[in-house]
Amino acid sequence: MINPTETAPRRRAVLKAGIAVLAAAPATALAQQKLAQSAVQYQTSPKDGQMCSNCVNFIAPNACKLVDGNISPNGWCIAYGPKA
């Protein structure tokens, strides 16, 4: 017969690991999801001297960390953040 006090520590470890995986899942899914261009008012031309190529979120040659799709280096959106 199995002694319940011997299996309790292993059961707790498995439960803790499972909870950690479930807690991390939404953060991972969110990190991979990008915003639609329409949601951030993306445009292919600069605005007030601000443009994607000068934004911290721009990934050369034509991508963005936050916005989905093809991004023009000369474009702009409300997620613009100047490079430091």
Confidence (pLDDT) at 11:
72
| Mean pLDDT, residues 57-76 | 98
pLDDT digits (tens, 9 = 90+) for 26-40: 655 555 799 999 999
Cα distance between the two ends of the chain: 66
The dihedral sign for the CA sequence 38, 43, 49, 50: positive
The CATH architecture assigned to 35-84 reads Irregular (4.10)
DSSP 45-76: S-BTTB-GGGBTTEETTTEESSB-S---TT-B
Going from N- to C-terminal start, the domains of the chain cover: 1-33, 35-84
Determine the distance from the C-alpha atom of residue 60 to the mean position of all C-alpha atoms in its chain, rounded to a whole number: 18
| CB 64 within 8 Å of CB 73 | no
Confidence (pLDDT) at 82:
96
In 3-state terms, the chain is what percent helix, strand and coil (to 5)?
Answer: 45, 15, 45
